[in-house]
Chains A and B, each alone.
Chain A
């Protein structure tokens, strides 16, 4: 592929993102260009359409096609108690401080299909904090949210779930939190009850409350530098002073103005504390 071809494709990707923004309000324009480029091309391949122009046409005219594309370009991996070491750190280092709050609000930004929110819920149950907690779990994909609300996952997830749970220092019997039937595991009502799933786009929508903990794990990596700064600003506004920001294991904050307001709390697990 020659350079000029590549640049034409880049133009098409950019136009597609412009079109999506103009038509549906979702703003992917400031996402990390290379990753977005790859994702769009993958989505194109999956759609079976011959070229991006065609895809753009479809996406402009057909909501379902747009939803498909949205799923393709925002798909995220998620599993219960993913990165047990992180949850262990959360349990050992953050939870003692959370105990001192009479009410806890936690925001799972970019919750995908909900595993992380349920994981947090189970952890809080185990730590005896769930009764005073409210988890807000948001994502920009309606489909992912539908799945998340159902809280039903294939039973094949169960072994990893168990291992991770044990690795996170989990104390309770998982069977008490999930129902296993018909090759699926379903979150029980006492796990689901304090989670509020709703649609929220980190890019376009605003802050909606003051949180004690914000989970934004492996989300910022998809954003371009500028957008990342903007979103971090929102996360900062969403946290109470001394609140915690949990990023993905490989994510680290730099030293821009907004990033400096977050102090490493458990540096190796990317848990930061908001100290304005």
Chain B
């Protein structure tokens, strides 16, 4: 059987309980005996104590009743005595259990005897008997009475002894019980203790063994197992501990193995570390190498910078050379211009000459002809022959003169051509008619042919084509002594390379002869003026040598080209290629013209005004102060293309004079000028009130924009400049800049100062002294901007602001307002001002700020930006009579929204944060809708919305939430806070208006 610890404990407890029970039972036994005694005392002695006196009293009553009856002589009363006697008997019966039965019986007998005798005696005494007998009777009766009395006394007598005995009995029982109890308790205790000792000794031994075992395990002696004794829980624990020790031992072994592995790993790591170290060394080496390379690089760098320095020197040299080149080109330009002038003079001269020569020649020809005709017949044939020679020579001279003039005209670009549709056949036929007889005269054949693929008609100057062909065919006939001359019209040969023409739209006029041909060395020269095909043939055939030159020029003029395609001794072939449609009239003329006039005029020292046409006023738009004629030419073209008029000044002094006299809209200024440099020109321009406001843009090869801008230039462009940049400069300067600024300033000197400062901003400033004046002026003129001094605001000034604010809200054309004050406005005032004006406090940098505000504003105007963002106006939305609360700390939004809402007839309240909004709602519970920004300091829109919604009276108040937040969940946050709808910033006023409209009309919002 397994005696478990629990069972042992239960056993001990049970034994202890049993012992306890025994003790209790024993003591109960003892007490019960004592109780019996006490009960006996209570039941037997105490009633006796009570009944005795009662019986004694009854007996006394009996005796007295007899005596009373005798004394009263009442026989009937004697009957009473019977009742008393019965009562005594009854009491005796009652006390039967108490009294001693024998004594009780004796008493009853004695009582009966006394009663009999007393009854008899009493009767006799009542009957009056007496005598001896009587006395004897009485004596017997008294004896009986005494006996009864004694019997009563015996029965009744308090048996003290008996009572003491009873108590003594009880005490003895008590004492005896106590002793018994002690003995029993002691025995039980001894028993329990003994048992406990027996049990615990076993446990303690087992536990000590356990403890020792654990201590051993703790020390690591895992193989020292704990002896397992018995079959109890401790034994189980011991067994478990042993098992644990076994496991631990295994674990330990495992750990040992792991440690070994770790050591190995460590070893390996160490190796790797070593390798790493090696790598690091390498790296360091590489690093050093890199360092070295870096050094080298630095060296190279220095070399490079040396190179760079050299380069920059070279560049400087180049610059110098450039400058020289520029100078050279300038000179060349001048030469070219001079040449052009000379050429023009030549043309002019020749044109004049034609007249001057032709007039006398004309006379000469006429007269020589007259002579040769010899109408009067008075001249000898010889004289006639001379006259004819004179006439012939005159005709040659005239032809020569005409050709020279022609060439001059063409070269001067003054040859006019008349382009029209011409039939090819007509041209060819005219040539044939002229030259067929001549050829026939010389015995030459003359063939004319037109190919089938040649169009019937071409667009060109027919007369000039005829002139070319006459020349070519004339030459051919002239220089051919035998054989044939051919004129063919056809498409160009596929083998021919055309320079500019397209084969499909080109026609070739081919003149072929079988003459002497032209040596290759003369081929190019043959087209030069005064050249003929080789010296040999020279003079033999007469002629001017201008024909081919003219023909070639004419061909070029007609957009074609003239070529010689022949070899010497095989005859010549001249081909004139012409386009079917001549479009070259202007193009051929333009470059020639352009080459002459522009530089010439720019080169003139005197300024030249150029009216580019549609200038809205008489003023010159732009003044260019620049000494480089080439650059002037380019600028001039750009300016001209933009329909602006301009003046050029080639030196600073002229520029300044012109700026003063002509007040241009803008000035383009170079820095390097022949007399005073651009910087000084700029300073002088700014110093002169007449020119101070003219915007100046530098365009210069000097790279110093900072200096230029510091002097107050509007811009600085460095040469060489791209054309588009120049265009930008020209366009920005050429723009109308009649910005007007109104200054409302009661202090005259301050107003003057302000006006002077504003003059640097190229604006027209009007200074008025009061708001009333300002309103008058505003009626008459429109102003871009307005500066109001609020330092000493009077009622009118504030009214003026009110008016301006109202106008601005209605988006009328009101000037931008800059408020200037040395009295800082309150926060709410400032917020209100801010919604429609810029406020400048009179602090250290206030002038700068003031000018910045105006300048930036004007610039925005020029860039075409709106003064302030204005919302579009939704059509059909009406908000009349609605009271709206706009809550936002961004005054731009507030401005834009309130303007849009007011424009639709709504009354708009503005709060700058949630807290203010709540106050305003409290004061204005009749607000119809709230437009609430969510991001505000103090109290944000979510919180404010929540608090509004928390009030039952605003449960259904439409709240539109505005937010710049556009991330996931931002919209939901607004709605969760209680907003009725949500709009993202930047606000589309139209969307807001229609949203509000839908709230008020009950339409479902889209």
| Residues of chain A whose beta carbon lies under 8 Å from any beta carbon of chain B | 24-26, 96-97, 99-103, 132, 134, 136, 194, 196, 198-201, 204-210, 237, 240-242, 275-276
Contact = CB atoms under 8 A, between A and B. Distances in A.
B892 A210 contact: yes
A200 B853 CA distance: 30
Contacts of A276: 856, 859-860, 863, 865
B944 to A, nearest CB: 14
Nearest to A23: B968
A96 B853 CA distance: 15
Contacts of A208: 890, 933, 935, 964, 985
B937 A196 contact: yes
Contact of A210 (B839, B848, B849, B890): B890
A148 to B, nearest CB: 15
A199 B841 CA distance: 33
Contact of B852 (A96, A132, A237, A242): A242
B840 A100 contact: yes
A275 B935 CA distance: 27
B13 interface: no
Contact of B849 (A26, A97, A103, A206): A97
Nearest to A241: B856
Interface string B519-560: 000000000000000000000000000000000000000000
A210 B964 CA distance: 13
Contacts of B936: 196
B614 interface: no
Contacts of B967: 25-26, 201, 204-205
B430 interface: no
A10 to B, nearest CB: 26
Contacts of A201: 967
A65 to B, nearest CB: 17
Contact of A205 (B825, B842, B844, B964): B964
Nearest to A193: B937
A242 B833 contact: no
Contact of A198 (B825, B846, B940): B940
A139 to B, nearest CB: 13
Given A25-B969, A102-B830, A103-B831, A207 B985 contact: yes
A93 B827 CA distance: 25
Interface residues of B, number: 46
Contacts, number: 99
Interface string B920-942: 00000000000001011100100
Contact of A275 (B834, B856, B966): B856
Interface in B841-878: 841-846, 848-850, 852-853, 856-857, 859-860, 863, 865
Given A100-B845, A242-B852, A275-B859, A207 B827 contact: no
A194 B825 CA distance: 19
Contacts of B964: 200, 205-208
A102 B965 CA distance: 28
Nearest to B847: A100
B860 A241 contact: yes
Contacts of A24: 968
B984 interface: yes
A101 B860 CA distance: 21
B845 A96 contact: yes
Contact of B986 (A25, A101, A136, A206): A206
B449 interface: no
B857 A241 contact: yes
Contact of A134 (B850, B889, B933): B889
B843 A102 contact: no
Contact of A204 (B889, B966, B985): B966
B227 interface: no
B101 interface: no
B824 interface: yes
Closest 4 CB pairs of A and B: A25-B968, A209-B890, A99-B843, A208-B964
Given A99-B841, A100-B840, A101-B839, 10 more contacts: A97-B848, A100-B845, A101-B840, A102-B833, A102-B834, A103-B830, A103-B839, A134-B889, A206-B984, A275-B859
B891 interface: yes
Contacts of B933: 208
Contacts of B840: 100-101
